[in-house]
Chain A
Amino acid sequence: MFDWQWEFVWEILPRLVQATGNTLIAAGAGYAIALVLGLVLALAQRSPSRVLTFLVREFVEFIRSTPLLLQIFFVFYVGPQFGIRLSPWMSGMIAIGLHYSCYLSEVYRGGIESVPRGQWEAATALNMSTMQTYRRIVIPQAIPPALAGLGNYLVGIFKDTPMLSVIGVAELIHTANAIGSENYRFLEPYTMVGLIFLAISLPSAGLIRGFEGYVRRKLGM
């Protein structure tokens, strides 16, 4: 029956703290991949080549409408079939980074499309190359309106890291599973994992809102 044991909580806390570290590293690394790859996917969808635009668009749609869990399995198990062995961490980061890059590409796209046409025309008038226009004129203006979306997906990626447990990445849920089956007690580990998630994601959501406001003020928007 229901009996919460504080001694047990203290006993497992060091392992959970370590797992929290792993979770944060996984979320951070996955997000870093997604930030870069997302921008590449967003820019590829604006390329003059119709074929490339179409292919990237379909790819993004495909990734966005299939489960991340399945994609994690796919990356982890399909590699060895073709002689590529990836560690759980490696495949986890690839899968989660790829999945979120498709979401982030939509956020970037919205940001880029919100830059007024006149900015492009002015850059052309100044004889800037396309690269220069993107790098120095368009992207700096596209980021602030996209910040809210980018931040939400950082919290989103953090909340999706438990799926990495299925291929053996030692993040929070994986550790809680291990503790639970070693001790036949699931109440404390799972509840603590839930509380840790709340303790991190609620303040982060607030911080992200604050940061967004700060950037907007700095840029005089």
Chain B
Amino acid sequence: MTFFEFVGQFWPRLLSGTGITVAQFVLAAALGVVISLAAGLMKLSENRIVNGVAVTYIEIFRGTSLLVQLYWIFFVLPLFGITLEKFTAGFVAIALNTGAYGAELVRGGILAVPKGQWEAALAINMSPAKRMWRIILPQALINMLPPWGNLMIEVLKGTALVSLISVTDLMFQAKQINGTTFLSAQVFGAALIIYYILARFLVTPFMRWLERFMARKLGRA
């Protein structure tokens, strides 16, 4: 069976898998950004407890594998009375993992904002929350967007792991089709190409657009 005949026959399943993969990616990325911001700001806090919580979270999630975290959340967390449905467990695990890496980017981005900006905000009597939200964060965002592009590709790649807890994403569909047809080169080849298209022609251009958009918004274009 040639590659095109193969795609012609199996495209509905590949497409539905791609839909789940995109959904997992969007949810994990959105939640990951929120967690990154929270953990990054917490790590900058001078309160020892707040800071300690953030450091512990970041070290645990950066020190272990995403797969271990995913299995732990899906198989062990129910023993503590927190049962997550597999779809939810999937994107939550990826988001928690992403958040730990993203927190370091947030922290680095904030620290790279010139000291004068902090002083100027203080001088015009802004409250700490307002200063962070209106002055520091927007500039920090510009500093950290380029590495965020790479992290988003890692999020997309991470979504493939949710197939191992039976979320019917692209990877899962590919495995299933392979199991029934044994057309490994065709099915895995098609899946590789779909992931590549998602990464190269959707995620990366979107992040580039976001960089330009933010730069324009801050008058730095």
Rounded to whole angstroms, the CA-CA distance of A198 and B196 in the bound complex is 32
Do A190 and B174 touch (CB < 8 A)? no
| Cβ–Cβ < 8 Å partners of A78 in chain B | 184-185, 188-189
Interface of B is mostly: helix
Count B interface residues, CB 8 Å. Answer: 42
A128 within 8 Å of B by Cβ?
no
Do A70 and B67 touch (CB < 8 A)? no
A67 within 8 Å of B by Cβ?
yes
Do A61 and B200 touch (CB < 8 A)? yes
Given A66-B199, A166-B164 in contact, is the A180-B178 Cβ separation under 8 Å?
A: no
Rounded to whole angstroms, the CA-CA distance of A128 and B184 in the bound complex is 49
Rounded to whole angstroms, the CA-CA distance of A160 and B97 in the bound complex is 13
Chain B: which residue is nearest A75 at the CB level?
B188
B68 within 8 Å of A by Cβ?
yes
A71 within 8 Å of B by Cβ?
yes
Please tell me which stretch of B35-43, B58-66, B115-123, B128-136 contacts chain A, meaning at least 4 of its Cβ atoms lie within 8 angstroms of it.
B58-66
Do A70 and B161 touch (CB < 8 A)? no
A140-171 vs B, Cβ < 8 Å mask (1 yes, 0 no): 00000000000000000001111101100000
Given A65-B199, A81-B184, A191-B76 in contact, is the A198-B64 Cβ separation under 8 Å?
A: yes
- Choose among A65, A81, A159, A197 the residue that contacts B153 (Cβ–Cβ < 8 A): A65
Do A66 and B157 touch (CB < 8 A)? yes
Do A173 and B182 touch (CB < 8 A)? no
A193 within 8 Å of B by Cβ?
yes
A6 within 8 Å of B by Cβ?
no
| Cβ–Cβ < 8 Å partners of A165 in chain B | 67
Do A67 and B195 touch (CB < 8 A)? yes
Rounded to whole angstroms, the CA-CA distance of A160 and B161 in the bound complex is 11
Most buried by B among A65, A77, A194: A65
Contact residues, A179-195 vs B (CB, 8 A):
180, 186-187, 190-191, 193-194
B3 CB → nearest A CB, Å = 13
B58 CB → nearest A CB, Å = 11
| Cβ–Cβ < 8 Å partners of B191 in chain A | 70
A126 within 8 Å of B by Cβ?
no
Rounded to whole angstroms, the CA-CA distance of A33 and B63 in the bound complex is 23
| Cβ–Cβ < 8 Å partners of A51 in chain B | none
A13 CB → nearest B CB, Å = 17
Given A65-B153, A78-B185, A81-B185 in contact, is the A70-B171 Cβ separation under 8 Å?
A: yes
| Cβ–Cβ < 8 Å partners of A201 in chain B | 63-64
B65-105 vs A, Cβ < 8 Å mask (1 yes, 0 no): 11111011001100111000000000000000000000000
Rounded to whole angstroms, the CA-CA distance of A191 and B60 in the bound complex is 12
A166 CB → nearest B CB, Å = 7
Rounded to whole angstroms, the CA-CA distance of A140 and B156 in the bound complex is 36
Do A190 and B67 touch (CB < 8 A)? no
B204 CB → nearest A CB, Å = 8
Do B192 and A190 touch (CB < 8 A)? no
- Choose among B67, B76, B81, B159 the residue that contacts A173 (Cβ–Cβ < 8 A): B67
B38 CB → nearest A CB, Å = 22
Report which B residues bind A (CB closer than 8 A).
59-60, 63-69, 71-72, 75-76, 79-81, 153, 156-161, 163-164, 171, 174-175, 178, 182-185, 188-189, 191-192, 195-196, 199-200, 204
Q: Can you list 11 A-B pairs with a CB-CB distance of less than 8 A?
A: A1-B81, A2-B81, A64-B153, A70-B160, A73-B184, A159-B65, A176-B71, A186-B75, A193-B68, A194-B64, A194-B72
